[in-house]
Every structure is written in C-alpha cells, then in structure tokens.
A = this chain, B = another copy of it.
Amino acid sequence: MDNLRYRTISFLSDYGTKDEFVGVVKSVIRTLSPDSTVIDISHEVKAHDIRAGGLALARSAQYLDPGVVLAVVDPGVGGARKGIAIEVNGGDYIFVGPDNGLLAPGVAMLGESSRAVELNNPEFHLPSLSSTFAGRDIFAPVSAHLCQGVPFEELGSPIPVHALQPGLLPVGGVDGEIATAEILWEDRFGNLQLNLSPEDISGLGESFSLRFGETVRRIQKVRTFEEIPNSEIGLIVDSSGLLSLSMYGRSASEELQLYEGQQIELTPITNETSSSSPVTLRKQR
C-alpha cells in the first residue's frame, strides 16, 4: 500500500446489486490497482436520480477517507455530458464521474475544486464497443490509475471549474415565524430529513404545527428518539446536522404519508397549555 498515491476509492452509484455492474467495476479496479480498497457508499440510489445521489454524497463527504470518490448516476451515459475528474483542495480528494451535477454537492462539503479535467484520454480507459457502461470502461480504470499515481492532468483536457455543472439543491427558509422546507431524504427507518437546520428555527420555541396538504399535526423538538412519545412525531437533529421528522421505533414517513420532495410548513406553537396529544385536522371541503 505504501506505493499508492491514493489507498481508497469510495464508490456510490445507482447500479443496484441485482446485476453484476458493481462487481465488474470493482474487478476492473482490482486488476489495475490491486492494493487500493473500494468502500461502497451505496449502490441503491434510485435509478437515474442525480439529486438523491448528490445528497447521499454530500451527507457522506466529511467522513470519507481521503482518496478517489467514484460516483455514477448517469442517465446520459455515452452522450453529450462529459466524464470528468475534479481535484478537491489541491488533491486531498479526486471526484470521478459524469458532469451532470452529481458530484458538486459532495465536493462543496469538502472544500474547493482546485482543478478539473474531461476524461478524454483513451490511454486510461478500457477499449469498448459500447457506450452504455462508462463506470466500467472509463471511470473505474481512471480511478485505479489515479490510485497508482497517474498525474491528474494526464487524464484529459482541462476544464475551468466554473464551467462544471452545479448541483442545485432546494433551500429551506424562515419567513417571519413560518419555516418552509422540503423533504430531502427519507431513510430506511422512515426518518424525514428537512432542508432546515436547528439554527433556522432557534428562537421559535419547542413546539410547532407541521402542515402539508390538508394535514396539521403538533410536533415537538427532542434530543433523542426515545424522548418522542408513542405515536407522536418528533423534530430531531439528525446525523447530518439537519432537522428531521421522526418517530420512536417507527416510520414517520409511513405514519404521515410524506415522502422525498414534498413541501412542509412549520409554525411555532406558543400556547403551551394546548393539548400535546397527536391530532390530525382536515379542512372541510
């Protein structure tokens, strides 16, 4: 391992594990750079969901071992979008993948894009008659060659970093006392991450009305899942440091029928004498 430029390739994709795509990418890397290690971040990003992939990268970024970050959610594979590599902070990390906005949120969490190249030097690709599997034919061998010490600038033509596709993420906000947010992420346990941080609602108290569609529901800030009363919804600081709608031992998403991409509103409840039991109101039609 001592002779490697990078020892770790962190790998995220929408390839799934039903097929052999992930295994083939790893086999290519294993052949070209046997001493580097691939860490799977996730391969179950929803097919073609660039935003979900970008968010998963952003949430993971600060924990990734320095090295190559290989990310592939690439509906336009083989077409006009470029294959790229982005050098972060002068070389702590190199992101490799398609130039479609997928990489930007992860890069932004780690620092500055110092350089970028289009991956158009075929010397570091596998020969292929097909345009459909750039992960295998371009991104995997490039990642392996980077670990082996191939200089960044040899991978292809330089691109100005300001010309890269940005990753556009929805921003939540507070207007007066009304916080508006979007469900960024529904995790396996049914926790619903909002694009709001605890700071966004500091000073608005501990209790809120959660509103979406025709539902109104009282929720409460908590520090742990355990503090959430049975059948109620808590507002917790999640592992990304954002606010999340959660239940204790159950799925908030299922309980609320609320999913990624939906909008919600939080308004403070200042009358602390009101009932704390869960309540669902429906407007009369």
Residues in B with CB closer than 8 Å to A35 are: 1
Flag the segment in A13-21, A114-122, A207-215 that touches B.
Answer: A13-21
Q: Please determine whether B130 and A63 come into contact, CB atoms closer than 8 angstroms.
A: no
Q: Please determine whether B10 and A23 come into contact, CB atoms closer than 8 angstroms.
A: yes
Q: What is the bound-complex CA distance between A16 and B133, given in angstroms?
A: 24
Residues in B with CB closer than 8 Å to A8 are: 30, 34
Size range of the chain A interface in the assembly: 35 or more
Check A255 for interface membership: any CB of B closer than 8 A.
no
Nearest Cβ in chain B — how far from A47, in angstroms? 5
Q: Is the interface of A mostly helix, strand, loop or mixed?
A: loop
Q: What is the bound-complex CA distance between A259 and B42, given in angstroms?
A: 27
Q: Please determine whether A27 and B131 come into contact, CB atoms closer than 8 angstroms.
A: no
Partner of A18, one of B12, B44, B249: B44
Check A200 for interface membership: any CB of B closer than 8 A.
no
Check A177 for interface membership: any CB of B closer than 8 A.
no
Chain A 121-139 per-residue mask, 1 if CB under 8 angstroms from chain B, else 0: 0000000111111001100
Check A248 for interface membership: any CB of B closer than 8 A.
yes
Q: Please determine whether A23 and B19 come into contact, CB atoms closer than 8 angstroms.
A: no
Contacts A63-B28, A130-B239 given; indicate if A20 touches B42 (C-beta within 8 A).
Answer: yes
Partner of A239, one of B136, B188, B249: B136
Q: What is the bound-complex CA distance between A239 and B78, given in angstroms?
A: 11
Residues in B with CB closer than 8 Å to A14 are: 188
Q: Please determine whether A56 and B188 come into contact, CB atoms closer than 8 angstroms.
A: no
The 9 closest A-B pairs by CB, nearest first: A79-B226, A23-B41, A133-B239, A16-B188, A78-B224, A30-B65, A18-B44, A75-B249, A79-B224
| A and B contact pairs by CB, cutoff 8 A, 19 listed | A1-B34, A1-B35, A19-B44, A19-B185, A19-B188, A23-B39, A23-B40, A23-B42, A30-B37, A30-B39, A34-B65, A47-B189, A63-B136, A76-B226, A77-B225, A78-B223, A78-B225, A130-B241, A133-B238
